[in-house]
Structure 1
């Protein structure tokens, strides 16, 4: 994942404004990332590449204190719970 792509993902899909105490784990982060890639028509990198890029920016994939936001969050939530459609 190039730095520009990663920075766009973080800026567009993650926020510090959390409404619950739920933290994002690796599965949720990668799911959100793949939804973001789908929307932007970008081939997703492997989970390990995403987690390494997150760690480089001080985001712990095992205990992410950020929340999902934007169109990628909506896509991920709907894809994760198809009974909501």
Structure 2
């Protein structure tokens, strides 16, 4: 069975963390849109994204996810342009 776009996103742009802060809604969706941009994939509407995350039992502010990889870098640099 082929991975969905959301499975690929979670695999490539997130990882579970034992410690540290958890991702909120804005950050998780922001990293998703950065991942889509970098993978040249059209992002799905936010409503569809959250429905898919709910199916995967990923709840912002409660799931122990952290961001990683190029999408994380793109998201951080886009969110905080003064860092560049």
TM-score scaled to structure 1, two decimals?
0.87
CA distance in 2, matches of 1:12, 1:5: 11
Say whether the 8 Å CA contact 1:17–1:66 is kept in structure 2: yes
* Gaps in structure 1 of 5+ consecutive residues: none
- Cα RMSD (Å): 1.5
The answer on 1:16 being equivalent to 2:8 is: no
Q: Stretches of 4+ moved more than 4 A in 1?
A: none
CA distance in 2, matches of 1:17, 1:61: 14
* Gaps in structure 2 of 5+ consecutive residues: none
Say whether the 8 Å CA contact 1:36–1:72 is kept in structure 2: yes
